[in-house]
Each structure stands twice: as C-alpha cells, then as structure tokens.
A and B are shown apart, each in its own frame.
Chain A
Amino acid sequence: AQKVTQAQTEISVVEKEDVTLDCVYETRDTTYYLFWYKQPPSGELVFLIRRNSFDEQNEISGRYSWNFQKSTSSFNFTITASQVVDSAVYFCALSEVHQAGTALIFGKGTTLSVSS
C-alpha cells in the first residue's frame, strides 16, 4: 500500500539555523512522483518541488534543497539559514501513475516554527 511518513511532528529552530524535514514513503510502483508542499498559516498549499522516481539527482533552489534516495525510500527537505517566514506546515506527498490520472497521498505534515 502507498504511504508517506513524516516522523517529525514539530520542529522549532532559531533563525539562521539549518533544518531538515524527513520524509519516508512506501509504494509498489516503479514509476511515481514525490512532492513537497508548504502550508502557511493562511491555509493554502504552496507547491515547492516535484521529483520523478527516475531522477535521483539532488536539487537546490535558493535556501531549499532536496535529497532523494530510492535505496532508503526517502525524500528529505533541507532549509538552509532558516527565516521566520519559513514557519509553516510542510507536507511530503506521493503520487502513483495510474491509467486515468494521479492523486496525491500526503504525510501528516511537519510543523516548523522559526523564531527570531
């Protein structure tokens, strides 16, 4: 069965600290996509990254970086030099490619609090 586990429920850091959010997934498919979304207090889900199962290259976007390791079924997200504006709930999600389309399976989320 498909499953996404975010073991860290809450993380608190001080500004400028680096922080890593863990994500472990389970799937029987060989073709799938992994996502990270940010949900600020306003409630909307903001897309951060999509990665397909055939691309294990790490990705960096500004202060954000992602480490995808198929061997451990993990897709971890690191924020470098965290800022107060990074405070939000972060969700990791999995989608499997089916014939008629895809739907997202979300983890329970990690609440990140960054204090000044």
Chain B
Amino acid sequence: EAGVAQSPRYKIIEKRQSVAFWCNPISGHATLYWYQQILGQGPKLLIQFQNNGVVDDSQLPKDRFSAERLKGVDSTLKIQPAKLEDSAVYLCASSPMSGSYGYTFGSGTRLTVV
C-alpha cells in the first residue's frame, strides 16, 4: 500500500512569511496527525483529526498555525506568520480509527525560517 505522502520535502522562508504543508494519508485511515519535531527533540503533537473533525488541537499555536482536513482525506497545515522558532520538521501520520493499532508516518517537511 502507498505510504503517507507529504510535500514539500524542504522549505526555506523568511520570518513573517506564510507557508503551507500538505499531507495525503494512507487510504482508508480515519485518523490524521500533525507533529512538530524540533531538532534534538521528539515529535510533539500539534493537531489530531478524526475524519474531518478536530479531536485535539490543544498544543497548536492557534494565533499563527491552522490546519484543515477537507472531506476527511488530505490535510493542510499552515503557518502565518512564521517565526524563527518554527524551524522544525513537520510530520504527518495516519492510523485506522484507533491509533492504538499503529501509526504510519510520512517523510516530513523540513522547514527553515531565516
């Protein structure tokens, strides 16, 4: 089966600019996650979707980050405006209805804010 697809692979932007990342999960996976991985740290959950509804966005900096999952399939994560501390790898993951059955991660988007 095809894996979790993410694009772009790399992105360099200046601070205060906006950026968007795209994720296409494994077909049929109802749950989609966006994680942020800062260099030297473990991934941290930003937002979790169940189909097209938000389950948990408690750690999403909502003043600058937004995410949507239209039609319960693809998802887009946006940062506007970006700050230097947003430099990180943004990982998308998907799982069947319950994440306890396993997660599949995409290759991530490495964002550098200069």
**What is the predominant secondary structure among interface residues of chain A facing chain B?**
strand
Indicate whether B67 reaches chain A with its CB closer than 8 angstroms.
Answer: no
Q: Please choose the segment from A14-22, A40-48, A78-86 that sits at the chain B interface, where 4 or more of its residues have CB less than 8 A away.
A: A40-48
Query: What residues of chain B lie closer than 8 Å to A4, measured between beta carbons?
Result: 42
Task: Tell me the count of chain B residues lying within 8 A, CB to CB, of chain A.
Answer: 29
Query: What residues of chain B lie closer than 8 Å to A45, measured between beta carbons?
Result: 43, 91, 93, 105
B48 to chain A, nearest CB (A): 5
**What is the predominant secondary structure among interface residues of chain B facing chain A?**
strand
The answer to whether B99 and A47 touch across the interface, beta carbons within 8 angstroms, is: no
A49 to B33, CA, bound (A): 19
Choose from A44, A47, A95, A105 the contact partner of B100 (Cβ within 8 Å). Answer: A95
The answer to whether A109 and B42 touch across the interface, beta carbons within 8 angstroms, is: yes
Chain A residues close to B by CB (< 8 Å): 4, 33, 35, 37, 42-45, 47, 50, 52, 91, 93, 95, 97, 100-109
The answer to whether B110 and A104 touch across the interface, beta carbons within 8 angstroms, is: no
A-B contact pairs, 21 of them (CB 8 A): A4-B42, A33-B100, A37-B105, A42-B107, A44-B105, A44-B108, A47-B102, A95-B99, A100-B55, A101-B31, A101-B50, A101-B55, A101-B97, A102-B98, A102-B100, A103-B33, A103-B56, A104-B43, A104-B99, A105-B45, A108-B41
